[in-house]
């Protein structure tokens, strides 16, 4: 037992000795203050794709943005999630099934509804001009209904969902070409 105790003691001392060294403070940035150092992590001081130098966050620039004029990181442009998941879902010609992108949009807006129990949603179904007015009203309703079904699968109560079909009556683009038709085949999500 005495030998085992000595082995553990030596291992513990070795471990403590290894952990007690002073950390490398990096490279002095040329100032007279020995505590001021430059970050030597990989990537810092490199240039990004546009040739702008990347300086550590404690420096005066982050990705080329000058922070010396009092601008904080909070003031810098942040990602606008509503632009990633706009409240519009587009459909293929004569289609009303959701694709993966449409499902992600529905999930995002369903989560907004789940976090705000006092809000409701109106799903406005639209089509392009091709087809009869009656057919397009029915297709617009089927599109809105598929979005409603997905919202209910994500937990939104059916009583909080209203479906309206406008068919071809409210085009975003009134031209008669494929580009316009793609914009008009949609469901708009309106949270109130």
- Would you tell me how many other CB atoms lie within 10 Å of the CB of residue 83? 7
22-62 pLDDT per residue, tens: 444 444 445 455 554 444 544 444 444 444 444 434 444 44
For residues 184 and 192, what is the distance between their CA atoms, to the nearest angstrom? 23
The mean pLDDT of 137-163, rounded to a whole number, is 98
114-128 pLDDT per residue, tens: 999 999 999 999 999
Return the pLDDT at 34.
53
78-92 pLDDT per residue, tens: 445 556 789 999 999
The DSSP code for 73 is G
Contact 183, 86 (CB under 8 A): no
| DSSP H or E stretch at residue 164 | strand 161-167
* All structural domains of the chain: 29-77 (no CATH), 81-191 (3.30.1330.60)
Please tell me the pTM assigned to this model: 0.59
The mean pLDDT of 156-170, rounded to a whole number, is 98
Return the pLDDT at 85.
85
Is the pLDDT at 146 greater than 90? The verdict is yes
Report angle CA 37, 40, 44 to the nearest 5 degrees: 110
Between the alpha carbon of residue 46 and those of residues 40, 66, 175, the distances in Å are: 10, 17, 49
Identify the band that residue 137 occupies on the pLDDT scale cut at 50, 70 and 90.
very high
Long-range contacts of 55-62 (CB under 8 A, 24+ apart): none
């Amino acid at each position: 037992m005495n030998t085992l105790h000595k082995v553990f003691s030596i291992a513990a001392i070795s471990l403590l000795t290894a952990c007690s060294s002073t950390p490398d403070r990096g490279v002095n940035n040329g100032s007279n203050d020995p505590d001021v150092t430059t970050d030597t992590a990989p990537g810092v001081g490199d240039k990004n794709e546009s040739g702008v130098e990347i300086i550590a966050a404690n420096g005066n620039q982050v990705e080329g943005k000058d922070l010396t004029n009092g601008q904080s990181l909070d003031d810098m442009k942040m990602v606008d999630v509503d632009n990633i998941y706009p409240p519009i879902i587009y459909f293929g010609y004569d289609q009303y099934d959701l694709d993966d992108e449409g499902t992600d949009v529905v999930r995002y807006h369903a989560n907004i509804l789940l976090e705000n129990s006092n809000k409701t949603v109106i799903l406005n179904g639209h089509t392009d001009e091709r087809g009869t007015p009656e057919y397009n009203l029915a297709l617009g309703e089927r599109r809105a209904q598929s979005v409603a079904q997905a919202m209910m699968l994500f937990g939104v109560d059916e009583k909080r969902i209203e479906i309206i079909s406008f068919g071809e009556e409210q085009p975003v683009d009134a031209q008669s070409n494929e580009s316009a038709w793609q914009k008009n085949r949609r469901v708009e999500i309106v949270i109130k």
